[in-house]
A and B are shown apart, each in its own frame.
Chain A
Amino acid sequence: DTGVSQDPRHKITKRGQNVTFRCDPISEHNRLYWYRQTLGQGPEFLTYFQNEAQLEKSRLLSDRFSAERPKGSFSTLEIQRTEQGDSAMYLCASSRGSGANVLTFGAGSRLTVL
């Protein structure tokens, strides 16, 4: 296992379209996190899963955003009816255990909404 993989790395879409990002965590990691990062800012928490259960969602995660981790392995983050303000880097990270452990980040998926 070579780490956390994210796909696609870059996505350019038109406003109003739906986009989906995928994250494959390190296989033995049971926690998976989604963060969003805009230019010049630190990452902002969106949501996280422990196994297949979505345990917390940030208020940043509007109704247009949905995340799943159906089998407790890979996760998807879907954004419906994209807006220009959704343009950002979407980062996935995973960790083992209680969340007090070190996070391993993926390289991110950069979204540009035109």
Chain B
Amino acid sequence: KNEVEQSPQNLTAQEGEFITINCSYSVGISALHWLQQHPGGGIVSLFMLSSGKKKHGRLIATINIQEKHSSLHITASHPRDSAVYICAVKENTPLVFGKGTRLSVIA
């Protein structure tokens, strides 16, 4: 069983919709990362958080340490948000990644 589980695996949304991607993990962590991967492989770090909430533009990431759960929200989604969103956690060793959520935003 993967230590990091993401849901949903695939998500299709209409432009403008509010999107939520969930990440659950089973180990104690020191930090959680949300990453974005576009076709072709390039990975961009969106957030790193260890508590509470962070916001950057239309993206919001929250984490509940007690429940071992994090969410990534995208407000007013746009086709350029189409990508794979990956959750990764850090315990004592380098990052453990989820399998990703493939998001397609349709105009």
Contacts and interface: CB of A to CB of B under 8 A. Distances in A.
Interface of A: 33, 35, 37, 40-45, 48, 56, 89, 91, 93, 99-105, 107-108, 110
A107 B97 contact: no
Nearest to A93: B43
Interface of B: 4, 30-31, 33, 35, 40-45, 48, 86, 88, 90, 93-100
Contacts, number: 57
Q: Is the interface of A mostly helix, strand, loop or mixed?
A: strand
Q: Is the interface of B mostly helix, strand, loop or mixed?
A: strand
A107 B41 contact: yes
B30 A100 contact: yes
A2 B45 CA distance: 15
Contact of B44 (A105, A108, A110): A105
